[in-house]
Structure 1
Amino acid sequence: MRTALRWGFLAVAAGLLGWAVVSNWDQVSTALRDLTWGAIAGSLVACMIALGVNAMSWRAVMRAIGLDTTVAEAMRVFLLSQVGKYVPGSVWPVLAQAEFARDHGVSRPRAMTGSIVAMVVGVVTSAVVGAVGLVLAVPDALAAYWWVLAVAAALAVVLVPAVLKRVVALAFRVTRRAEEPAHIGGRALLASAAWSTLMWVVLGVHAWLLLRELAPGAGLAVVTGAFAFAWLVGFLVVVAPAGAGAREWALVLALAPVATPAQALSLALVSRFLMTAADVAGLGIGIAIGARRPDAARPRRGSAPPPG
């Protein structure tokens, strides 16, 4: 039953992912006409690299709670779980990762802790990168928007292990879980944050490769910050699958100093299409890794979490 439910979830999520591609194709195809194939291909490659980097950020946290797997197996788990983004709500990838982690002997509470922390790391780093981008985008922004940097700094404090433990404990109470969250040390958090920051830089490159052909004056730093900010807004709007609609609106707003609304909207549409295509490719890669490693799905009940 558990296996059937798992594959059923993947099937539903994959169906919604496919619908996300088909339903927006007319608008996307129009936006694609303004771009060269070189920019599109380079942007797609950057999206796929960013997925792999994000998987490494997740793996850095999960290793700290006892998920001792190879890079290939961690990639499989992460890439398969990403289709959960296309189901309304922001928690489905976390739940999927927790279930897959159980196959390797990690208890559900520990797996939930790791996935929640990895998600928090992504949110915090997106806020920091987005704040820096906003300051770079608006002339004299430091004087007018100093509070944005203050908020980003306050969010960065969440990654202090003692503070983060309280945040995860609160998440457990909200979800009515009585277990004690696992402790994740500062070294694992630092490694995860470094990978996550790199992911935002790569995603910034993905967006910049597209926008530089639409609005040549847009700089890489501004586009990276705007994209991170838009992702954060899309993530917070939990009722939209993968932040659909909210992310586009936020990207148009954030890029206003360097691009017209039409240019920013074209970027938003093509970017979402390419990121969805990368998720489709990631799903295929994850399934292929599982097919080539028949022992990967066997539970590792003998694995023990590291001390601390």
Structure 2
Amino acid sequence: MRSSRAWLLTVVRVVVALLVLAVVVWGVARSWPEISVDLRRVDAATLALSTLFAAVGTWLTLLGWRVLLADLGSPLHLAPAAGVFFVGQLGKYLPGSVWSVLAQADMAARLHVPRRRTGVVGLVAIGLSVLTGILVGLPAVPHLLRSSSGGGWLLLALPAIAVVCWPPLLNRLIALGLRMLRREPLEHDLSTRAVLVTVALFVLAWLCFGAHTLVLARTIAGPGAPGLTVAALTGYALAGSLGMLTVVLPAGLGAREGIMTLVLASAMPVSAGTAVAIVSRFVITVVDVLAAGAGWAYARRHHLTASGAAGLEQSDADQRP
């Protein structure tokens, strides 16, 4: 019964993701003549600078995740931490919200990190990322409200999210969640320092992603558009954090682009905002794939992947008398 329910849930997630993708493709195709003109304004230098900002943002996210893991008792050197984090991050491109966490827990276990610990760090990192994204994206809410009347609830939700991520309460929620899952409690709580450092790193990461968006937006719309800097610099954080809440959609596909287009539409034509969202998605995906490729190469060389671990076990078995 449980396997049938899981299979049905997976099918629903895939169908919803495909429907959203179809809607996005249809919307882009309908406005393609205007969008294609805007896309042609993005030159190689703009693409390179935008990619650099996105890569720095991705690296800062890794550092925040690593701080949490070290605080709970598993300090990893930067190289193996990158291998675990970046390869696991590809799980976000599957429908659902836990695949990246499961992949990271599996790989980190080969480094003698308890799966429970890696799982908790992954979920806490997602929660703090959403919180900091909404914080950084707060200046973009007025831009969103000009295009849509449905964003006002963010102002009401923000204090509640801030309270939930307060370190003492956050540790209680972690303990409660582990009890409900019938898992052993963590050896000790997350420290306030670790949470604050992670929050600071995530804020910087969102600002880097915002700079990545701003570079594209200024190239496509020109620097003179009123409100463009605030909309682009903070709009990605708002769109990205809300996209993370749409757990059915792989990597917030469609949701992130839709929100970003609405925010940017306050400072540029809709077709130009759509072009920025399309190029941004392409750049972020390329950065994720390249980081995962480098991480996978390290992980395979050090037997952190399933195939690598199997090869190591076989080698050990062959050497036994």
Q: TM-score, normalised by structure 1?
A: 0.78
CA distance in 1, matches of 2:284, 2:205: 13
1:206 Cα deviation after fit: 0.5
Counterpart residue number, 2:275: 266
CA distance in 2, matches of 1:104, 1:46: 30
Does 2:218 correspond to 1:212? yes
Identity of aligned residues (%): 33
What are the equivalent positions in structure 2 for 1:36-185 lying under 5 Å apart? 36-135=43-142, 137=143, 148-172=154-178, 176-181=181-186, 183-185=189-191
Counterpart residue number, 2:286: 277
Alpha-carbon spacing, 1:232–1:139, altered in 2? closer, same or farther (3 Å): closer
TM-superposition CA deviations, 1:82-141 (whole Å, max 9, x none)? 110111111111111222222222222222211111111111101111113325x4899x
TM-superposition CA deviations, 1:28-73 (whole Å, max 9, x none)? x946322121111111121111111110010010101122211122
CA distance in 1, matches of 2:163, 2:80: 31
Which residue identity does 1:57 align to in structure 2? G
Kept in 1: contact 2:107–2:304 (CA 8 A): no
Which residue identity does 2:44 align to in structure 1? W
CA distance in 2, matches of 1:295, 1:168: 27
CA distance in 2, matches of 1:230, 1:172: 30
Kept in 2: contact 1:116–1:168 (CA 8 A): no
Alpha-carbon spacing, 1:246–1:147, altered in 2? closer, same or farther (3 Å): closer
Q: TM-score, normalised by structure 2?
A: 0.75
TM-superposition CA deviations, 1:150-203 (whole Å, max 9, x none)? 5323322222222112333454466x3433245211011011111100000100
Counterpart residue number, 1:221: 230
Q: Which has the higher helix share?
A: 2
Alpha-carbon spacing, 1:275–1:177, altered in 2? closer, same or farther (3 Å): farther
Does 2:253 correspond to 1:253? no
CA distance in 2, matches of 1:230, 1:194: 19
CA distance in 2, matches of 1:77, 1:99: 9
Contiguous gaps of at least 5 residues in structure 2? 1-20, 310-321
1:287 Cα deviation after fit: 2.2
Contiguous gaps of at least 5 residues in structure 1? 1-19, 299-308
Which residue identity does 1:48 align to in structure 2? A
Which residue identity does 2:251 align to in structure 1? A
Kept in 2: contact 1:67–1:101 (CA 8 A): no
Alpha-carbon spacing, 1:159–1:139, altered in 2? closer, same or farther (3 Å): closer
CA distance in 1, matches of 2:102, 2:301: 25
Kept in 2: contact 1:67–1:104 (CA 8 A): no
- The farther-off stretch of 40-49 and 198-207 is 40-49
Alpha-carbon spacing, 1:164–1:73, altered in 2? closer, same or farther (3 Å): same
Alpha-carbon spacing, 1:173–1:270, altered in 2? closer, same or farther (3 Å): farther
CA distance in 2, matches of 1:262, 1:106: 47
Alpha-carbon spacing, 1:177–1:220, altered in 2? closer, same or farther (3 Å): farther
CA distance in 1, matches of 2:66, 2:171: 18
Which residue identity does 1:235 align to in structure 2? M
- The farther-off stretch of 83-92 and 29-38 is 29-38
Which residue identity does 2:62 align to in structure 1? A
CA distance in 2, matches of 1:261, 1:121: 31
1:253 Cα deviation after fit: 1.8
Which residue identity does 2:98 align to in structure 1? V
The two structures, once aligned, show a CA RMSD in angstroms of 3.1
